[in-house]
C-alpha cells in the first residue's frame, strides 16, 4: 500500500503531522526553490544528481543558503522513500528561505528549511503516449522571465498555474508559454520541441526557460540516435508547421503533441521521432542509466 511521507529538516513524518510555520517565506511569498523527480524500480531516482545540482544552483541564484550538503540531502531523500515504501514514488524537494517577521527584507529570514515530500506516483495514462495531447499557447510574464532568477526553479508558479488553467479551459492538456516577444518558451511544467525534416528544435536556455533534466536526456538520446538537435528560437508558426511536436518532463517523460490550439500537427498522430525518443528515454530510465 502506497503512502505519503514527509521529511522536514531531517525528521520523517506522516502526512498529517507534516507542518510548517505560516510565517515561512515559501508560504508567504513563494520565496523558495524546488525540484520534482520520480523513482523507477521503487527506489532509484531518475537523474538524481542532475536534479540536486540544479536545486543547489537555484538556491545559490536566489541567495538561499542550502542548510545541508548534497550527500546529507541525498540520504534524507533515500530514507523518506524507504519509509514510504511505495511501488513508485513522486518526490518533491522544497528549500525555503525560512520564517521571519512580515517584511520582504531577505536578511530577516531565519534558517532555511528543507522539505522532502514522497508520495505514490500517479503514472501518466498510457493513452497520452498512444494518442498524443493537445496544447494551447498562452502569453504570460513569469517572475523568472527576467532578472536574477531567470531559469531558476523557484516555487512561485502562479503565472504557470493560471496559464495551465487557461489552456485547460480551452480543452488543452498543457499550456505552452509565449514570452513577451511572442516566442515559444516552454510548457507550464514541461519543455517543448518541434521536429522539421528530421531536425529537432527547442528554445535555448537564454530564452529564459527552465533547462529540464528530461530535455538534457532527450538531447543526448537524439545525438545517440543520429537525430539533429538544435537550440533555436521557436515561434507559434514553427509549431503549426512542424512534422512533430512533443513536450518533456521528469514525471511525464516524452509526450507527443498532436494539436496546437486546435490545429492538427502533420497527420494528427504521434510522430516517429517522438516515439523513438520516448522509447529510448524510458529504456535508459528503467535501466538506471540517466
Ligand X SMILES: Cc1ncc(COP(=O)(O)O)c(C=O)c1O
Backbone angles phi, psi at 169, to 5 degrees: -70, -15
Using CB under 6 A as the binding rule, whether residue 152 contacts ligand X is answered as no
Q: What is the grid cell recorded at 101?
A: 517577521
Q: What is the grid cell recorded at 274?
A: 517522438
Q: How far is the CB of 135 from ligand X (least distance, A)?
A: 13
Using CB under 6 A as the binding rule, whether residue 214 contacts ligand X is answered as yes
Residue 284 is classified by DSSP as H
Using CB under 6 A as the binding rule, whether residue 186 contacts ligand X is answered as yes
Which of 7, 96, 134, 191 binds ligand X (CB under 6 A)? It is 191
- Helix/strand/coil for 243: coil
Q: How far is the CB of 192 from ligand X (least distance, A)?
A: 9
# residues near ligand X by CB under 6 A: 13
Which of 18, 28, 36, 162 binds ligand X (CB under 6 A)? It is 36
By Cβ distance, which residue is nearest to ligand X? Answer: 212
Residue 99 is classified by DSSP as B
Using CB under 6 A as the binding rule, whether residue 39 contacts ligand X is answered as no
Inter-residue contact 184 to 234 (CB < 8 Å): yes
* Closer of 99 and 190 to ligand X (Cβ): 190
Residue 234 is classified by DSSP as B
**239-272: b or e for each residue (b if 16 or more CB lie within 10 Å)?**
beebbbbbbbbbbbbbbbbbbbbeeebeeebbbe
Using CB under 6 A as the binding rule, whether residue 199 contacts ligand X is answered as no
Q: CA-CA distance, 46 to 116, in Å (whole number)? A: 16
Closest CA to 73 of 104, 103, 99, 95: 95
Which of 116, 213, 242, 265 binds ligand X (CB under 6 A)? It is 213
Q: What is the grid cell recorded at 211?
A: 533547462
* Closer of 183 and 266 to ligand X (Cβ): 183
Q: How far is the CB of 273 from ligand X (least distance, A)?
A: 18
* Closer of 3 and 216 to ligand X (Cβ): 216
Residue 64 is classified by DSSP as P
Rounded to 5 degrees, what angle do the CA atoms 250, 152, 276 make? 30
- The piece of 11-19, 113-121, 197-205, 212-220 that touches ligand X (CB under 6 A) is 212-220
* Closer of 4 and 189 to ligand X (Cβ): 189
Q: CA-CA distance, 136 to 118, in Å (whole number)? A: 31
Using CB under 6 A as the binding rule, whether residue 210 contacts ligand X is answered as yes
Using CB under 6 A as the binding rule, whether residue 190 contacts ligand X is answered as yes
Residues 229-258 that bind ligand X (CB under 6 A): 248-250
* Closer of 134 and 250 to ligand X (Cβ): 250
Closest CA to 252 of 160, 142, 139, 127: 127
Residue keyed to cell 514522497: 118
* Closer of 109 and 218 to ligand X (Cβ): 218
Q: Which residues bind ligand X (CB under 6 A)?
A: 36, 186, 189-191, 210, 212-215, 248-250
Amino acid at each position: 500500500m502506497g503512502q505519503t511521507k514527509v521529511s522536514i529538516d531531517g525528521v520523517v513524518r506522516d502526512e498529517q503531522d507534516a507542518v510548517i510555520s505560516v510565517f515561512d517565506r515559501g508560504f508567504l511569498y513563494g520565496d523558495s526553490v524546488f525540484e520534482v523527480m520520480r523513482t523507477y524500480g521503487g527506489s532509484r531516482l531518475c537523474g538524481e544528481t542532475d536534479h540536486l545540482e540544479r536545486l543547489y544552483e537555484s538556491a545559490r541564484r536566489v541567495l538561499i543558503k542550502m542548510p545541508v550538503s548534497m550527500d546529507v540531502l541525498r540520504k534524507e531523500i533515500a530514507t523518506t522513500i524507504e519509509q514510504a515504501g511505495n511501488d513508485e514514488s513522486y518526490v518533491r524537494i522544497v528549500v525555503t528561505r525560512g520564517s521571519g517577521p512580515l517584511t520582504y527584507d531577505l536578511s530577516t529570514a531565519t534558517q532555511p528549511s528543507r522539505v522532502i515530500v514522497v508520495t505514490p506516483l500517479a503514472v501518466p495514462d498510457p493513452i497520452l503516449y498512444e494518442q498524443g495531447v493537445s496544447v494551447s499557447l498562452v502569453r504570460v510574464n513569469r517572475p523568472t522571465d527576467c532578472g536574477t532568477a531567470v531559469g531558476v526553479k523557484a516555487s512561485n508558479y502562479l503565472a504557470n498555474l493560471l496559464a495551465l488553467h487557461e489552456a485547460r479551459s480551452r480543452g488543452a492538456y498543457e499550456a505552452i508559454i509565449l514570452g513577451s516577444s511572442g516566442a515559444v518558451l516552454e510548457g507550464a511544467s514541461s519543455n517543448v520541441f518541434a521536429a522539421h525534416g528530421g531536425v529537432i528544435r527547442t528554445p535555448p536556455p537564454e530564452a529564459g526557460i527552465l533547462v529540464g533534466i528530461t530535455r538534457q536526456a532527450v538531447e543526448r538520446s537524439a545525438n545517440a540516435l543520429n537525430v539533429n538537435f538544435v537550440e533555436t528560437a521557436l515561434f507559434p508558426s514553427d509549431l503549426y508547421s512542424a512534422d512533430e511536436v512533443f513536450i518533456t518532463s521528469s514525471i511525464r517523460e516524452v509526450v507527443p503533441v498532436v494539436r496546437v490550439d486546435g490545429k492538427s500537427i502533420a497527420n494528427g498522430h504521434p510522430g516517429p521521432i517522438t516515439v523513438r525518443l520516448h522509447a529510448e528515454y524510458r529504456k535508459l530510465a528503467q535501466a538506471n542509466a540517466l
